[in-house]
Amino acid sequence: MGILEIIVIAVGLSMDAFAAALCRGMAGKSNVNLRSALIIALFFGGFQALMPLTGWLLGRQFEQYIKNVDHWIAFGLLLFIGGKMIVEVVNKDRCPADSASEPELKMLFLLAVATSIDALAAGVTFAFLSVSILPAVLIIGVTTFVISLAGVFLGMRFGARFKTKAELLGGIVLILIGTKILLEHLGVL
């Protein structure tokens, strides 16, 4: 898996965090300051970096047992993650954020964990595909930080207009990457 694919995965994985940051910006409106936005982005970016590392460590322990079917597992996990994001777009009609102007650490922790569970599964996939984990983790963390920071300010400015489109696009991108991995291993691409 190349650096471009990791960047695309990072963008896809960050869409849940973007949507939550967007909601946070909408909830805070003009009361959210740069400090609050940075804290929100650090939580989301940090957890998006930590979870694939954790998944990679777990996946490396099982790699020898499932090497022959790793491409199917990668396809299945990315299909599941992407499909879950698309289903959430259809079923979700409100933001997972409260209206407090300063980010509450407990709420941010829970949102960061909830939005980065998909990154844990991606980390398992990285182990099966022998991805160099440190650059991948850095790319995912920094990408999510930047996208979340932008999400807070976009939420303050434009509201819910982008939320569902971003999550839908993220889900589609992950499914397409999973399909590409499967087709490459089957020799179609």
Residue 145 has pLDDT above 70, yes or no: yes
Measured distance CA(143)–CA(122) in Å, rounded: 15
Q: What is the pTM of this model?
A: 0.71
Domain count, the chain: 1
Give the pLDDT confidence of 34-44 residue by residue, as tens digits: 888 899 999 99
* Alpha helical stretches, state H, the chain: 3-28, 34-66, 70-91, 105-128, 133-158, 163-185
Q: How far is CA 17 from CA 44, 59, 84, 127, in A?
A: 6, 24, 14, 23
Q: Report which of residues 22 and 47 the model is more confident about.
A: 47
What is the residue range of 105's domain?
Answer: 3-185
Give the pLDDT confidence of 130-142 residue by residue, as tens digits: 889 999 999 999 9
Percentage of the chain lying above the pLDDT 90 cut: 23
**What confidence score (pLDDT) does residue 66 get?**
67
Instruction: Take residue 70 and report the two structure tokens written for it.
Output: 């790793």
Measured distance CA(50)–CA(42) in Å, rounded: 12
